[in-house]
Structure 1
């Protein structure tokens, strides 16, 4: 089946893309929505404009579509994206939805309206096991933003290791945030995955926004 995949450049959408590839789907394109606002109800905001570098090392065409970032209007933008996917010949959409009912339901409703099937391979996946599985399967990613009390902010900007995953899981249990960040606790950027032709090298710096909010600003990609 020919599909397109919603792609933010983070761990969840990248994992779902690889799932689709190994399941035998024909990937026509990646779809990245580019919110104009700092926060979005539906889409990842930090570093989504950088998905062009990931698309290049994946060798997959990329559609980058601007969106208002406003709660209802961005759903109209999502429909535009799905219509473009269908025009390319796609019959389905793959998503990285993990726990958000709001995101998954809206994606499913809009896809059905356009005439596309949806696939969400990570839906309700056990969080701890998923994080460990990412590392075991060779995914390399950095944390680019974090907003949660008790979060190990020192991990921002570094490639996450098995040891780091255990630190995140331990902190999540202690302080009550989601270990896979589905509650918006953190955002990630994948620098290498099994289907990447080469690894992306990242340069940047940490920026403190508030006591419980930090960001890693990417300044250059090799």
Structure 2
């Protein structure tokens, strides 16, 4: 009897990079069998995830089962726009990798044919890519980062033109204000981000933690997500608090 082919899993936050990486993997005919969603511990600011419920709705719309990975609490304060955020991001990756590897080893044992590989939306973090690649090597599976080293502007244009509906849900850097919360990342918003990039050094993708996003519709989804939310602004940073989220079902 022929052994079944293994399956892929995608690291999925519901944000623009993980969503587009998943789109690229599906287009490349990867057999994606699970979406892995990492959840922060209750009350933790280290992995602030105001929209994990939206990520689960997106997974439902995509039609791929979810695996939840919980993280231990870590002592990191709320966003401080004066600090160098790179060390904080590395601390987050270190906190994530052990429970993530454990979950992937479990999937490797459970999936028919085992785990072929892991899909991630990392773009330019050498540290994160190296950690994930090393983890995959230890497990004995492939690592696929289809967005790796992409030009940020071209990548955003491609996402927008492909039909990703991207919503900004948190901003933590100088130059942003309350009006950015809940804003669609379209061509006009991209032009404004380019101005912030020139004047303030903002990374166009928010790779330095300057802003976070969720995707509420796209070519990988069968139904869009309708959101209701309130804006929370703290003088130098802010986030949306989602009060309701549901799949749009048209009859």
The unaligned stretches of length 5 or more in structure 2 are 1-5, 75-90, 247-251
* Residues in 1 aligned to 2:127 and 2:54: alpha-carbon distance in whole angstroms: 25
User: Are 2:50 and 1:46 equivalent residues in the alignment?
Assistant: yes
Contact conserved, 2:178 with 2:233, CA < 8 A, in 1? Answer: no
2:177–2:237 contact (8 Å) kept in structure 1? no
Paired residues for 1:21-40 under 5 Å: 21-36=26-41, 37-40=44-47
Give TM-score scaled by structure 1 length: 0.92
1:65-104 map, 5 Å: 65-68=69-72, 70=74, 71=91, 72-87=94-109, 88=111, 89-104=114-129
- Larger gyration radius, structure 1 or structure 2: 2
Counterpart Cα distance in 2 of 1:99 and 1:153: 28
Q: Confirm or deny: 8 A CA contact 1:34 1:49 kept in the other structure.
A: no
**Aligned residue for 2:245?**
221
1:98-137, aligned counterparts within 5 Å? 98-137=123-162
Q: Residues of 2 paired with 1:194 and 1:32: CA distance?
A: 20
**1:62 matched residue in structure 2:** 66
The number of residues matched between the two structures is 218
> After the TM superposition, which of the residue ranges 23-32 and 165-174 deviates more from structure 2?
165-174
- For the structure 1 residues 181 and 73, does the alpha-carbon distance in structure 2 shift closer, same or farther, using more than 3 Å as the test? closer
Name the CA distance, whole Å, in 2 between partners of 1:81 and 1:181: 27
Per the TM alignment, residue 28 of structure 1 is displaced from its structure 2 partner at its CA by: 0.7
- In structure 2, C-alpha distance between the alignment counterparts of 1:183 and 1:79, rounded to whole Å: 24
Distance 1:10 1:165, change over 3 A: same
Q: Point out the more displaced range, 19-28 or 164-173.
A: 164-173
Verify the 8 A CA contact 2:181 2:239 in the aligned structure 1.
Answer: yes
- State how far apart, in whole Å, the 2-side matches of 1:10 and 1:115 are: 27
1:159 is matched with which residue?
184
The C-alpha deviation readout for 1:39-93, integer Å capped at 9, x for no partner, is 14xxx63323432101110011111111115444432111112213312232100
Quick check: 158-167 or 179-188, which moved more? Answer: 158-167
Say whether the 8 Å CA contact 1:28–1:90 is kept in structure 2. no
